[in-house]
Amino acid sequence: MILLFSLIITLILSISFVSRKHTSHKSIKSIFSLLDDNFNFPIYSIKLANIENECDDKYLSYQIGYYPGTKKGIYFKNKVKKGKSCTLLRNCETISETSYLPIYIWDGNKFCVKNKKELKYENLIRNSVKYGNECEIGYKKCGILDSNNRILCIENIADCPINKIIINNNLNPPNDYSYTSLSLNNNKYLHYTNEAIDNPIVVNISISLGNYCYDPYELNTQYPQYILDYNFNRYFCSHKNNDSFFDNSSILIDSITKSQVYYENKIDLLINELKGYPLFSLNEKYGLYFRNYYGIDFNCINDKNINMNDITKFNKWNNLSKKLNILCIVLSTFMFVFGLFLCFNCMSFPNANFLYFSILNWINIFMEIMILILGLISFLYLDKINLTLYCFEKVKGYQLYKIKNNLQYEKRVNIIYIIISGIIIIIFITNAFFFALEKKEYERNNYVNRIERRIIFRNENLNNINEEENNNL
């Protein structure tokens, strides 16, 4: 009974651990939405792809967005529903899943960019000064580095990154700075400069359905979206800073309809195959934005001994631990059913049951140790992420209090997992000790019984021999 109780606890622990991983997934992704831009590099030059849609040497194809893809579902009674297949439903159609696709084309143009990969944010911030201050001698101002309004300072002999982009219908750029101009499709022109030193430097160029949300994990939209969309639960801004749900630090440079973006990137071919897709949502407009870095206090990160690569490792660990716990659920369910079977048949095969119960017990010990390790590692990583968020708190508008609260709650839950797992491991090891004692007792009794049977058998043989000898006499 102790073993069955322990098996049930292991199953509950595994299921709850997976469910916590699911609820924390959004919090982790929110942090990565913040950090993604901070792993980008400032853009120094922009060109258009050639007639074959390829970029020149030293220029990289620039991805401005993506189509998330859709899950598998069904179309039943003129409604789209989540589900694997129609099974026995009549008048039902299965909707195949569609895959992730990158978006490169904007209004018929594919952008190619040049950046300097040696210029990481953590290096650039060392050469920055607070807003309103002057750069050191031998350095010049190049623009606003991040959302903390720090000013990027670059050596006088070096070029500044781009700090202003304009798209309009004017062939001639404004007269305020010296611009490089590109002729786009539809009688539009792109003008950019690196002389607008009071503007944000350009680190990211991307598309959004309206203003970016305050929580970078969430996606802004004014139209109902497709229920099978992988981003479906991310749409609509729900967290706000003061009175605004939006991040107003990104600068809008152009806009076109969603239908045009999907057509130019050949996503419409997938959309047309999706039953029940809300085609009216294609009238919504995508905006093309640019922004600088999200501000991080690197003095804070250095003081707290935080390694930014640990955050990347945790994202991979978060996904792996969820898969390992699903494996635990499968094994726990199987072992619980098998344990019940052994209990109901324990009198039929007593010798075999000692072996099976012992195997079940040791497998359960292994799983509990795995859950314990998962809890410990998650606890340690969550601690570092919480410290990292503290360093983000100095960024106006990006405190992400709800994310921080979620992570603190998950940290407490992990402590409970660790304690319960430790207790159950002790129970299992105790079980293993008692199994060993019972098995020894069982084997000793078996040995005594075999000896007794042999003695009885030998005595019976001797009696038979004596009787035969007496009869012969």
Reference 396, options 131, 125, 145, 214; nearest CA is 214
**What is the band of 452 on the pLDDT scale with cuts at 50, 70, 90?**
confident
442 and 333 inside one domain:
yes
296 and 182 inside one domain:
yes
Average confidence (pLDDT) over 314-329 = 62
155 and 97 inside one domain:
yes
256 and 328 inside one domain:
no
| CA 293 – CA 308 distance, rounded (Å) | 15
334 and 388 inside one domain:
yes
**What is the band of 97 on the pLDDT scale with cuts at 50, 70, 90?**
confident
Q: Which of 277, 300, 323 is the last residue of a domain?
A: 300
310 and 427 inside one domain:
yes
- Is 37 part of a structural domain of the chain? no
Q: Which of 250, 274, 300 is the last residue of a domain?
A: 300
pTM to 2 decimal places = 0.66
What digits encode the pLDDT tens for the residues 278-313? 888 899 999 999 988 877 776 676 666 666 666 566
310 and 279 inside one domain:
no
| CA 271 – CA 23 distance, rounded (Å) | 29
- Is 457 part of a structural domain of the chain? yes
The two three-digit tokens of residue 233, written as one number: 């639960």
Average confidence (pLDDT) over 371-390 = 62
262 and 342 inside one domain:
no
| CA 43 – CA 113 distance, rounded (Å) | 7
DSSP string, 154-214: EETTSPPPP-EEEEES-SSPPSSS--EEEE-STT-EEEEES--TTSBP--EEEEESSSEES
| CA 464 – CA 11 distance, rounded (Å) | 60
Q: Hey, what amino acid is at 226? A: Y
What digits encode the pLDDT tens for the residues 334-372? 666 665 665 555 544 444 445 555 565 566 666 666 666
134 and 242 inside one domain:
yes
Whether 280 and 243 have beta carbons less than 8 Å apart is answered as no
- Is 255 part of a structural domain of the chain? yes
| CA 375 – CA 380 distance, rounded (Å) | 9
**What is the band of 395 on the pLDDT scale with cuts at 50, 70, 90?**
very low
The two three-digit tokens of residue 457, written as one number: 């058998």
231 and 155 inside one domain:
yes
| CA 96 – CA 268 distance, rounded (Å) | 15
What digits encode the pLDDT tens for the residues 125-175? 777 887 778 888 999 999 999 887 889 999 999 999 999 999 999 989 999
How crowded is residue 8: how many other Cβ atoms within 10 Å of its Cβ? 13
Give CA separation, 330 vs 12, 286, 334, 359, in Å.
12, 44, 6, 16
- Total of domains in the chain: 2
- Is 35 part of a structural domain of the chain? no
Strand partners, 206: 289
- Is 34 part of a structural domain of the chain? no
Packing angle, helices 308-344 and 350-392, rounded to 10: 160
Q: Hey, what amino acid is at 347? A: M
Q: Is 38's pLDDT higher than 70?
A: no
Strand order in the sheet with 73-76: 79-82, 73-76, 92-95
- For 144, the domain range is 43-300
Q: Is 221's pLDDT higher than 60?
A: yes
- Is 25 part of a structural domain of the chain? no
Average pLDDT of the residues of the chain: 75
128 and 272 inside one domain:
yes
Whether 239 and 218 have beta carbons less than 8 Å apart is answered as yes
Q: Which of 246, 268, 300 is the last residue of a domain?
A: 300
Return phi, psi of residue 189, to 5°. -135, 140
- Is 27 part of a structural domain of the chain? no
| Angle CA 6–338–320, to nearest 5 | 65
**Which pLDDT belongs to residue 195?**
93
320 and 233 inside one domain:
no
For β-strands 92-95 and 73-76, DSSP reports them as antiparallel
Alpha helices in 39-71 (DSSP H): none
